Amino acid sequence: MDFRLACRSRQVSLVGRREVMGGKAKFGIFGEGKELAQIAMAKAFRKGDFRSGYYRDQTFMFATGMTTVKEFFAQLYAHTDVEADPASAGRAMNAHFATRSLNPDGSWKNLAGMVNSSADVSPTGSQMPRLVGLAYASRLYRELEALHPFTTFSHNGDEIAFGTVGNAATAEGIFWEAINAIGVLKAPALISIWDDGYGISVRNEHQMVKQNISELLNGFRRDRGSQDGFDIYAVRGWDYPALVETYLQAAETVRREHVPAILHVIEMTQPQGHSTSGSHERYKTKKRLEWERDHDCLVKFRRWILDNGCATDQELDQIEAEEGSQVEGARKTAWEAYLSPILEERQAASELIQEIATRSAHATALEKIKKNLLDLPHPLRRDILAATFQALMTIRAENLPKKALLVNWKVNQAAANEERYSSHLHSTSASAALNIPVVDAVYSEDSPLVHGFEVLNACFDAALARDPRLIAFGEDVGRLGDVNQGFRGLQEKYGALRVSDTGIREATILGQAIGLAQRGLRPIAEIQYLDYLLYALQIMSDDLATLHWRTKGGQKAPVIVRTRGHRLEGIWHSGSLMAGILHFVRGMHVLVPRDMAQAAGFYNTLLRSDEPALVVEVLNAYRIKERLPDNIGEFTVPLGLPQVIREGSDVTLVTYGACCRIALEAAKLLSQVGIETEVIDVQTLSPFDIHGRILESLKKTSRIVFVDEDVPGGTTAYMLQEVIEKQGGYFWLDSPPRTLPGKPHRPAYGSDGDYWSKPNVEQVFEAVYDLLHEVDPASYPLFYK
C-alpha cells in the first residue's frame, strides 16, 4: 500500500512537470524525493490534528486523504471551482494545500472529527508562526476546564500540530522565533525538517552553521525527565522502517506529554530539481546527482521491499504501471473539468460575434476575431474577454440589434470573474462584522468618570467572563496587565492561560493568534506599540489578511490585534504608519478609535463577529477621563460609520484617532474668527464610510481638509481618494481639497519634536483658514504669513 502511494505521488510529480513544460499550467512545484518520510508522518496523523506546512507535502496530503490527485491537478491548472480545487479555488499556486474548515455559510465544521491543514503560503518559513498557535490551542483545550465542552474543536487537547519546513528556510528568523515560542509554551507540535541539502541552488554551507540543523537545535533538547524543551530526532529520508518507527514514537510522546518534537529528515533528494523554473543540473555536481539517484527514497524502498520478501519485482512494476495510468486518468479528468466551462464560454462569445457579423459592415474583421479565438488550443478567460472587447470596438459606430447581447454577455462575465477571483476578501457569514447589531452605549447619572484605561479594563473583564474562548496575550499583558493597564488584575481573576505574558516576539504573537483562532478560540493579541507592528506585519499581510480570500471562504481566523499608537514621544513610540499598514492588511478591518469608550465598543463588536481586525488605541488617551458606559460589556460600535464630532457649515475636516482632539481645538479657534468647521472622525479606516456620511457633510460645506499624522501621500491621500473619487465628492467642491499629514520623517523626540513633526492646532487652523482666505480675502485676511 505504501509503495503504491509513493508511486502515485512520484507519478504526480512527473506528470505535473510535463504539464507545465507543455504549456498547460504556468508553474509547478512538486514533492518528489520526500515521499517516504511523508508516508511515515501520515501514519501518526489523527483526526483533529492540524498540518502547517509548505509546498513539498503532496505525499502527506494524499496519504491523509486531505487532497486527491484530481484536486492536485485542478489547482495546477488554476481551476476556479471550489469543488474542483477545495484548497484555493484556483487562487493559489499549485501545491498550496488547505482543507475546508468552514461550511458554506461560514460556520465551523467539526474540526475534531476531520483531518486538517491550515492554508499554505509561499513565503518560506511563514508557516511557522501559525504553527505556534495551532499547537498551543491543544494545551489550552486540555488545561482550561471551561473549554472541555468545545468537543468539535478538541478532545482533551489530544491534537498535535504537524509542522513541515525545508532545510534552507530554517535560516529564516521566524523559524527560530517559532521554535523558541513553541518550546516556551510547551505546545504539542511535531516539526519535520525536510533536508535535501539545498535551498534552490544554495547549499547548506551557506544556510546554516555546521551545515546541520539538528545539531544547532541541540540547545533546545530537553533533559532526561524534564518537560522543558524538545525531543529531537534525526532520521534518513530513505529509511522506511526507521521513519515509521520514529514518527509513531515521536507523535505518541507529543500527544501524551505535550512536549514538542523536531524530526530532522536527512539525506533527502529532489530528483527533478526545485521547481519547473530551472534545472538542477546547473548547480548540482555530477557526483551529487549520482548520489541522489542512488539515495532516491523510491529506489531504496523498492530494494527494502525486495530484500524483505514483501513483493517481487514484477509485482512492484505492476503497481507502478497501475498508478501511472490512474494518475493519468485523474489528470485528464481534472483537465477536462477545468477546460470545459471555458470552452462553453468561448462558444457562447463566438456565436454572439458571429450573429453580429451577419448584419455588420465589418463582418470580415469580426469573423477574423472569432476565428482567432476559436483557433486557440487552450483558451483562457482573458482571451475570450479580449476578443469580445475587440468585437465591440470594431462595431462601436454601428447600431446593431444584437450588439446589446454581446455587451450584456461581457458585463455578466465581469461579474462572474469578480466572484471567481475577488470574492471572500471579508466574511460573508451572518457573523460578519457589518452584520453585528448596534447596541448603543447607555449612560446614566451614575455613570462614573474614570480613566480611559479603566474603560478598557471593564470591557475586557466583561468579555473574559462572557466567553471562555477569549484568550489575551502579549508582552507585559499577563502579570502587569499591559503597559497601560487595560488588563490590570485580569490575570489574577482569570488565570495565566487566559491572560498571559509572551516573549518579545511580534511575528509569533501574531502566529499564535492565527493558530488559536483557526482552532476555534478567540484571541486578542497585543502588539505593545504600533511602531513594532512592523515585525508582525509580514505575517498579518501574507497569512492573516489573505486567509479567507485565498481559501475562498474555506478558512477563517477571527483574530483581534490590539495595539496603541499615534501621539507619544520619540521616533519609535509615536508612529502612525497607518497607510503602510492599511494597504498591507487588506482583508482585515482597521479601526482607529479616538477614545477608549469607542475602542471598547469596537472590541464588543469584533468579539461577536468572525473577522480579523486591527484596533489602534490612542496612546495618550489612557489617562484622560471618560465616562464609563453602564452596559460596558454589551454596547457595540458599528464599523464603517464616521461620527460627526462637531457640526459646522464652512469646512469639513476629516480625521481620526489622536488628531480628533487637535481638530476639535483648532475648530474652537476657527470659530472665534467666524469659521464653523464640521469635524468628522472616520473611526474605521477599513471599512471606510460605507454610507457616504462624509459626502453629506461636503455637500453642505463644499470644502474639505483631511488631517492625520501619517506621512504625506499616506492615509490622508487614501481618505481623499475615498471621498473625492469613490464617493464623488469632486462634484461638490468649491475649493481644492487639501491634505494635512505629518512630516515625511518619523516624529522627532520631545514635545517640541512632536509639535514640529505632526499636524498641530495652529497648522490645522491655517489649513482651514487658508481655504476661506482664498474665497474671501477681505473677510479672512492673512495674519500669520
Ligand X SMILES: Cc1ncc(C[n+]2csc(CCOP(=O)(O)OP(=O)(O)O)c2C)c(N)n1
> Which listed range, 35-43, 116-124, 323-331, 484-492, lies at the site for ligand X (CB under 6 A)?
116-124
Which residue lies nearer to ligand X by CB, 255 or 274? 274
The one among 52, 59, 167, 701 contacting ligand X by CB under 6 A: 167
For 410, phi and psi rounded to 5 degrees? Answer: -65, -45
Give the CA distances from residue 8 to residues 4, 28, 59, 390, in Å, rounded to whole numbers and listed in that order: 6, 17, 9, 45
With 0-12 CB in 10 A as exposed, 13-18 as middle and 19+ as buried, what is 224? exposed
> Which listed range, 167-175, 453-461, 467-475, 694-702, lies at the site for ligand X (CB under 6 A)?
167-175
Smallest separation, CB 60 to ligand X (Å): 13
d(CA 587, CA 569): 31
d(CA 723, CA 527): 31
Q: Which ranges of 499-595 does DSSP label H, i.e. alpha helix?
A: 506-518, 533-539, 547-550, 578-584
Q: Is 514 helix (H, G, I), strand (E, B) or coil?
A: helix
Would residue 186 be called left, alpha or beta, if left means φ above 0 and alpha means ψ between -120 and 50 degrees? left
> With binding defined as CB under 6 A, does residue 11 bind ligand X?
no
x-or-dash string of contact with ligand X, 51-70, rule CB under 6 A: -----x--------------
Smallest separation, CB 168 to ligand X (Å): 3
Which residue lies nearer to ligand X by CB, 192 or 683? 192
Smallest separation, CB 184 to ligand X (Å): 24
Smallest separation, CB 161 to ligand X (Å): 19
Q: Which residues are catalytic?
A: 573
* DSSP code per residue over 428-452: -STTSGGGSPP------TTPPEEEH
Q: Are 471 and 92 in contact (CB under 8 A)?
A: no
d(CA 349, CA 157): 55
d(CA 117, CA 434): 29
Residue 681: count of CB within 10 angstroms of its CB: 23
> Which listed range, 111-119, 195-203, 305-313, 336-344, lies at the site for ligand X (CB under 6 A)?
195-203
Which residue lies nearer to ligand X by CB, 33 or 553? 33
Smallest separation, CB 53 to ligand X (Å): 10
> Which listed range, 118-126, 356-364, 404-412, 457-465, lies at the site for ligand X (CB under 6 A)?
118-126
The one among 91, 274, 331, 424 contacting ligand X by CB under 6 A: 274
Which residue lies nearer to ligand X by CB, 199 or 452? 199
Cell of 170: 530554517
> With binding defined as CB under 6 A, does residue 169 bind ligand X?
yes
The one among 103, 107, 110, 122 contacting ligand X by CB under 6 A: 122
Which residue lies nearer to ligand X by CB, 110 or 122? 122
Which residue lies nearer to ligand X by CB, 133 or 166? 166
Residue 376: count of CB within 10 angstroms of its CB: 12
Which residue lies nearer to ligand X by CB, 204 or 598? 204
Under rule CB under 6 A, which residues in 428-457 are in contact with ligand X?
A: none
Torsion angle in degrees (nearest 10) through CA of 150, 127, 548, 528: 80
Which residue lies nearer to ligand X by CB, 121 or 462? 121
29 contacts: CB under 8 Å, gap ≥ 6: 55, 56, 93, 94, 95, 274, 275, 276
d(CA 697, CA 706): 13
Residue closest to ligand X, measured at CB: 166
The angle at the Cα of 585, spanning 576 to 441, to the nearest 5 degrees, equals 70
Q: Is 373 helix (H, G, I), strand (E, B) or coil?
A: helix
Smallest separation, CB 20 to ligand X (Å): 16
Smallest separation, CB 572 to ligand X (Å): 25
Strands 231-236 and 261-266: parallel
Using only the alpha carbons of the chain, give its radius of gyration.
Answer: 30
Q: Are 665 and 640 in contact (CB under 8 A)?
A: no
Which residue lies nearer to ligand X by CB, 101 or 538? 538
Smallest separation, CB 74 to ligand X (Å): 23
x-or-dash string of contact with ligand X, 124-163, rule CB under 6 A: x---------------------------------------
What DSSP state is assigned to residue 541? I
The one among 106, 157, 199, 601 contacting ligand X by CB under 6 A: 199
> With binding defined as CB under 6 A, does residue 196 bind ligand X?
yes
Smallest separation, CB 169 to ligand X (Å): 3
d(CA 7, CA 14): 10
Report which secondary-structure segment, H or E, holds 199: strand 198-199
Cell of 500: 498571559
> Which listed range, 2-10, 164-172, 511-519, 702-710, lies at the site for ligand X (CB under 6 A)?
164-172
Q: Which residue type occupies 608?
A: R
Give the position of cell 474555506. 554
Strands 613-618 and 589-591: parallel
Q: Which residue type occupies 641?
A: L
Which residue lies nearer to ligand X by CB, 123 or 341? 123
Smallest separation, CB 38 to ligand X (Å): 12
Sheet order of strands, 704-707 included: 643-646, 677-681, 651-655, 704-707, 738-740
> At what angle are helices 173-185 and 127-143 packed, to 10 degrees?
10
> With binding defined as CB under 6 A, does residue 502 bind ligand X?
no
Smallest separation, CB 213 to ligand X (Å): 10
Number of residues that bind ligand X (CB under 6 A): 14
Dihedral sign computed on CA atoms, order 117, 607, 110, 500 = positive
> With binding defined as CB under 6 A, does residue 590 bind ligand X?
no
Smallest separation, CB 268 to ligand X (Å): 8
d(CA 563, CA 760): 23
Under rule CB under 6 A, which residues in 200-229 are in contact with ligand X?
A: 200
d(CA 253, CA 491): 30
Which residues partner with 643 through β-bridges? 681
> At what angle are helices 381-394 and 403-422 packed, to 10 degrees?
150
The one among 123, 341, 495, 580 contacting ligand X by CB under 6 A: 123
The one among 5, 69, 93, 168 contacting ligand X by CB under 6 A: 168
Smallest separation, CB 196 to ligand X (Å): 5
> With binding defined as CB under 6 A, does residue 166 bind ligand X?
yes
Q: Which ranges of 262-312 does DSSP label H, i.e. alpha helix?
A: 286-295, 297-307
d(CA 765, CA 663): 8
295 contacts: CB under 8 Å, gap ≥ 6: 238, 267, 269
> With binding defined as CB under 6 A, does residue 17 bind ligand X?
no
Give me the residues that bind ligand X (CB under 6 A), please: 56, 122-124, 166-169, 194, 196, 198-200, 274
